[in-house]
Amino acid sequence: MSFFRNRLKIGSVGLLIVLMTLVLAIGYQLLVEKERQLLDKTFQQIQKQAEHQLLSLIDEKQSSSKSIAISLAHNSKIIDLFASSNPSNYVLKNMANQLSQVDEYKNIWVQLIDQNGVAIARSWTESVGQNLSKIRPDLQSFLEQPRVLTGISIGNYDLSFKAMVPIYNHRGEFLGLLEVITHFNSIVERLRKEGFDSLILAQESYFSQIKHPFTNTFVGKRYVANLNANQEDIELFNELNLNSVEFESYFYAQDQNRVVFSIPIMGKNNEKLADYFIFKPITDIDFSLIRVQTNNIKLAVALTLVVLFILFYALGLKRQPNLKHQKSKFKVFIALFIVLMLISAAAFYASYLKEREAYLEMHNQSINKSYEIIKDKYQSVALTTLQLLINKQSVIDLMEQAYNGEQSKAFVRQELQNLLNEDYEVLRGGNLRQLHFHLRNNESLLRMHRPAKFGDNLTGIRKTVEYVNRTYQAIHGFEEGRIFNGYRYIFPITQHAGTPSEQHLGSVEVSFSPYAIAQDFAKTFGINSEFIIKKSVVEEKVFESERDNYIQCLFPNYAFDREMQAKLKSGAHCANIDNQFVDIGKLENQIDKGKVFSVESFDGQKLFTLIPLSNPVTDKVVATYILVDQNDALQNIKSHYLLMYLIGLVIIALTLAFVFKEWMNAQNARQMSQKTQQILDSQKSIVVINDGEDIINVNQAFLDFFEVESLDQFKQMSHCICDHFRRNDRFFHLGKVPEGTSWLEFAMTLKHSERMVQMANHKGEDCIFNFSLSRFSEGRFIIGFNDITDTMLEHFELENRATTDYLTGARNRSYLNHVLPVLRDITKQANKSLGLILFDIDYFKSFNDSYGHNLGDDILKEIVVLVKRTIRDEDLLIRWGGEEFILVVKIHDIQSAERIAENLRQVIAAHEFSEGLKVTCSFGVTLDNDAFEIEDMIQIADQALYKSKDNGRNCVSVKIN
């Protein structure tokens, strides 16, 4: 305590505590708001990620379902079923059972529908004969124009994916269609591996349509479309009452430590079929970026507290009156500002780098996860292609012929091409780039994309082909070929697999263009990209005649794929990386490390994420994706820190300037006459000395009233004491001073009784003063303010009692007579009119007679409360007598007064009074004419009131004199 007693004034200590408390309070509010904003941003990013993953999986499911449907449609047994008068479901059931061996298609359904839309055979049930075209718009569209069609719809059984392929007989006549139906269960499992639980609920409008529910589970009238729905999620859905909650993207169930995201499932005609609810535990969410930013706020608060303490400590130092010490003190303040500026800069920059690193790490992980999801999609398509098109005995037998006889290779090549050509052309529309068969000695047997090029040995060129034919194990990954590069999925082809006579015949490659990945990034995530491949790989592997497919790019050791570059540009998906990078050589070295990383563009406006692609056998980087997105997040982070730093500098500068100014003012204040100040301070009244424009001096009573330590502190809040005069027509205030006139000069003309003002003290309490004013020298005034609050309050209380109705609390006749002239003047100045609305309670006497006067009094009081609640603050309610009331309103025309009366009539009529009574009122409306006495105007309103009574009461009538 001795430190503060010696170095700080008691008032400064108090102010320091108040300011520190204020800083902590503001800091806490900022922290809470910032956490809320960051949580919202984090949840929206997760929702966007989940939606992107879901859309990608849906696209994958539709593509693979289409591939399955196309493959099954070629089975000759299908046409036989259409020709049968009583088709059996055995063939379809057998097809579905074979497909169910693939995890993705555990619950696959197959059905045949004739040209009229009637189901004639199904793999999952004996029930047939329903006309499905009546409930399925997608089927109606298909029958009008038969073609390969995929989509999502709701039938009698389930919400499901449907792939439809037209079936024709040998004469080309349309027989109907084969439909492959798959469900959402595999998608749910894939998302569960990513940490998301799913609950898919069909719209209530489909409740009656789903007559044979596949999952047999409902939430209210909403069908649960995923067979593997978690019961805990259903219970949480009901507990949170999410069916009645409308939220565009997410719902934060903080008490349950879960976030719920909602994604709509749309049908063919853009109608909403279902809501896909995704549940994410809070414990699985990375909040590190939020912690970094909230720590910045805590740092700023701590820094501010330190600055305040240092400044107030400086205030308490002993001040020297001579100029030499003033200059010395100023140098100390400048040095302190520089030190604080450098400390702030270092702290903010370190925090910025940490947050930038955390954001880039999270961004890279997100991009890498999205990339893996897209690759998984094409792996699923490749496996489906293998299962349905290649793992057929006819294909394996042809490969065995090529393996055993040199002379039969040409025959095998042609037969394979004829067998697979139609399916290959369809699959090419789904981004399939190559279907390539190799013999076990790595010799190219058939390239479906270039059938004229064959017979070349891929040993030493295609490491993946060598690996499969050496190990008999499948492999996948990116690899450059003799013609094209791509994502290659290479599988062994084996005769009599799993038997003692098993024989490895060769391998087959299903590959996809890198453009497919780029296109998915663009379509699903809205991210443009470039693709570059190492020139050394092209020169080593690509046929010399095919090297024109590649062109030099910005990176010296890399080239563009010409075809892919053209597609990216035509599809507006191209990243346009030219002249955007700072250090190309450093980037190439970073690419060779094989990990996803991000860099900002030269101007900082874009963020480039580089995904190195490694050969799956050699593990060496051979190509790279370059994704580009707007760098808004990092730019915002950078701007945020720069703004915080600038604000910090301003706060430090202003605080130091304030401290230095206070110190200078304190020096000047000591030069004032001690005797004069003692005289002023001895006065109990507030004393102000003014030069006509500015306050020169005040006494201690002034400082105590406003709770300021000095006049300078008061001047920081306001320039003049007159700014604190409350606007009350009972007293003097600046609104009564003519424009361009000094309030002091005008106050000199007022009578003593007119020199009363109302001001609020530091506690917010209104006080009333009578002020005296005298000129004691050229242009100088001394003003004394005497507190007469108690006296005036007693006067107001007596006045209020005299003008207020004792029963209802409304104003009485006396008040209206007193205030009407003032109201007329104010209304005329506002170019408005006064409306008089006279109303009384219908059959009031019967209430008193029937229920007693106490109830009658209650009704009067309740009427007043109801009317005051309905009218405007500026409107005046008068109890004129008995059950009669007058409402005085400022209006533009008589119609406005009539509308006000009509509104009151309806409000009163609709209100339920004591004892459940209903009360009505009759109204008479007129416009005030200041040429008449108030009694005359009331008489005119009374005539209008009687007209309302003659019209049956509970109505409004108008009369204008």
Residues annotated as catalytic are 883
Strand-pair partners of 510: 435, 489
Please answer whether residues 44 and 250 qualify as being in contact, where contact means their C-beta atoms are separated by less than 8 angstroms.
Answer: yes
- Give me the helices (H) in 386-434, please: 393-404, 409-428
Q: How far apart are CA 513 and CA 726, in angstroms?
A: 78
Q: Provide the 8-state DSSP code for 670.
A: T
φ/ψ of residue 227, rounded to 5: -65, -30
Q: Report how far apart, in Å, the C-alpha atoms of 78 and of each of 75, 84, 121, 175, 908 are.
A: 6, 10, 10, 10, 78
**Residue carrying structure tokens 């800083």:** 23
Q: Quote the crossing angle between the two packed helices 632-669 and 288-316, to the nearest 10°.
A: 10
Q: How far apart are CA 425 and CA 448, in angstroms?
A: 9
CB atoms within 10 A of CB 33: 11
Strand-pair partners of 836: 888, 926
In the chain, the amino acid numbered 902 is: E
> Measured in Å, how far apart are the chain's first and last C-alpha atoms?
80
In the chain, the amino acid numbered 383 is: L
Instruction: For strands 197-202 and 272-281, give the pairing.
Output: antiparallel
| Pair of tokens at residue 690 | 């003014």
Residues in the chain: 961
DSSP letter string over 38-79? HHHHHHHHHHHHHHHHHHHHHHHHHHHHHHHHHHHHT-HHHH
Q: How far apart are CA 660 and CA 78, in angstroms?
A: 95
| Pair of tokens at residue 9 | 């004034």
Q: How far apart are CA 377 and CA 64, in angstroms?
A: 9
| Pair of tokens at residue 158 | 């389930």
Q: How far apart are CA 839 and CA 941, in angstroms?
A: 9
Which of 467, 460, 462 lies closest to 447 in space, CA to CA? 462
Sign (positive or negative) of CA dihedral 632, 638, 644, 646: negative
Which of 525, 518, 515, 549 lies closest to 535 in space, CA to CA? 549
Q: How far apart are CA 853 and CA 861, in angstroms?
A: 12
Q: How far apart are CA 706 and CA 657, in angstroms?
A: 23
Residues 6+ apart with CB under 8 A from 176: 82, 112, 113, 114, 115, 120, 166, 167
Instruction: For strands 258-266 and 272-281, give the pairing.
Output: antiparallel
Please answer whether residues 223 and 201 qualify as being in contact, where contact means their C-beta atoms are separated by less than 8 angstroms.
Answer: yes
Sign (positive or negative) of CA dihedral 493, 495, 498, 501: negative
Q: Report how far apart, in Å, the C-alpha atoms of 303 and of each of 317, 668, 682, 685, 842 are.
A: 21, 32, 43, 43, 71
174 three-class SS: strand
Q: Report how far apart, in Å, the C-alpha atoms of 173 and of each of 170, 177, 530, 695 are.
A: 7, 12, 47, 104
Strand-pair partners of 886: 838, 878
Strand-pair partners of 122: 111
Please answer whether residues 886 and 938 qualify as being in contact, where contact means their C-beta atoms are separated by less than 8 angstroms.
Answer: yes
Please answer whether residues 229 and 199 qualify as being in contact, where contact means their C-beta atoms are separated by less than 8 angstroms.
Answer: yes
141 three-class SS: helix
